[in-house]
Amino acid sequence: MKIVSIIPARGGSKGISKKNIVDLNGKPLVYYSIQASLDSNVDDTFVCTDDDEISRESLKYGAKVQMRPSYLTNDIIMPDLTLIYFADKREFDILVFIQPTSPLIKPEYINTGIDMMKTGNYDSVFTVTEEHWLPRWDEDINPVDWDIENRPRRQDKQKLFIENGMMYITTRDNLFKTKLRYGGRKGFVKIPLIDSFQVDTEEDLDLIGSLI
């Protein structure tokens, strides 16, 4: 059974210029996803990019590179199309899709997901963080999904989990069948809140830099 990872890292970014290789504690952002994958039970680690500088940095830190065309790099294209493009060019059984914007990912999270897939009980697995209920309000200061005169206790609310975008795992067959990063019989890997943060802004960089 061949297991490969893909880290899609395009050159363009509106929030932070060259975000995927922005400096984070002395290393480019993409380094952390690469290293976690290399230290896991993944057989081959690929960065899929349209950018020569990202390609050079990825190779420097031990990843393989799959270049992708410009039509797969604009802001409105979902990553699923990049996964399908990659799968058309590479042979594998299980694909681990890792976001380069999740530098707090750990090899053990990847391995847990892979082990779940190997049981044969799941067609896809993704990472979540448990949501602790807090009262929410809309912009007109109306309570959202709760009654102000009958405020619920947190422990009485149903457990909910937030898809945190860190990692998705699927089979090659399931990817071609669904055209999505997940589908079929789904399972999730619970990630602690402290490891679930993603880099989208300069403030995120400062926060995550203090956690690494």
Q: Which two tokens stand for residue 24?
A: 């984070």
Bridge partner residues of 125 (DSSP) = 169, 187
Higher pLDDT, 33 or 78: 33
Q: Which fold has domain 3-129+163-211?
A: Spore Coat Polysaccharide Biosynthesis Protein SpsA; Chain A (3.90.550)
Give the whole-angstrom CA distance, residue 129 versus residue 127: 7
Q: Which two tokens stand for residue 13?
A: 């970014």
Question: Annotated catalytic, 151?
Answer: yes
Residue 76 above 70 pLDDT?
no
Residue 1 above 70 pLDDT?
yes
Which of 10, 68, 90, 151 is catalytic? The answer is 151
DSSP annotation of 195:
G
DSSP annotation of 21:
G
Residue 39 above 90 pLDDT?
yes
pLDDT confidence of residue 165: 95
Give the whole-angstrom CA distance, residue 4 versus residue 92: 7
Mean pLDDT of the chain: 93
N residues, the chain: 212
Give the whole-angstrom CA distance, residue 61 versus residue 154: 44
Q: Cβ(101)–Cβ(198) under 8 Å?
A: yes
Neighbours of 107 (CB within 10 A): 15
pTM for the predicted model, two decimal places: 0.91
**Segment 79-135, tens digit of pLDDT:** 999 999 999 999 999 999 999 999 999 999 999 999 999 999 999 999 999 998 889
Give the whole-angstrom CA distance, residue 29 versus residue 20: 5
Torsion sign, CA atoms 183, 188, 192, 195: negative
Confidence tier at 78 by pLDDT (50, 70, 90): confident
Instruction: Report the candidate in 41, 28, 175 with the shortest Cα–Cα distance to residue 109.
Output: 41
Section 62-87 average pLDDT: 88
Residue 13 above 80 pLDDT?
no
Give the whole-angstrom CA distance, residue 16 versus residue 23: 11
